[in-house]
Amino acid sequence: MLKPLQRFEPRTIIREFPRPASEGAFTPNLDSYLDFVIAGAKTQDNSLRDIQDKILDVLGPLCVLHENFTLMQESIENEEIIFDKTTVDAMFGCVKKAIMLVGDTSTQVSSKRREQVLTKLNSVLASLGKEDFPDSSKQLFGDGFEFCLKLRSETANTVADAKKAGKSLFRGTAPQRFHKHF
């Protein structure tokens, strides 16, 4: 069961309650080739990576609490405990929500990190960082990134070409002829 609450130093908590061995609990690394392709990408990424590490450290203690509350909830009919079932269910829901919030926050930080790297590459591509990268695994972008980048670049070039063509078609020659008739 739960140990009595004590005053822990933050480092002690992290060692005593390590993060779970789950893919969602790892801070993604910047793809190794990007540091060579984009000057300063790793330096630019480090600050948000450190924040993400700290956020994910919360998962260790929360998961231990979650496990204990699960055990308490399962054994509530067999043993007498201090909390009634309603209280345990409420606490269980709070812990579950906290875990989900930490995961969501981590996802948002990864998105911000992607935007930051893409802005360094080309500010037009920054919005690509907000898209999902389901194949990223433990990388920030993952395998599908090059395809998405190529597709986005081609779309940007097509729009730019259309913009140039539109300007040359409408140079203002019609209004001059129109004014001569009056």
* pTM, entire model: 0.54
Rounded-to-integer distance, Cα 140 and Cα 30, Å:
5
What phi and psi, each to the nearest 5 degrees, are found at residue 139?
A: -105, 160
C-alpha torsion angle, residues 115, 117, 121, 126 (rounded to 10) = 0
Tell me the pLDDT tens digit for each residue of 22-76: 888 888 888 988 888 888 888 778 878 888 888 888 888 888 888 877 877 777 7
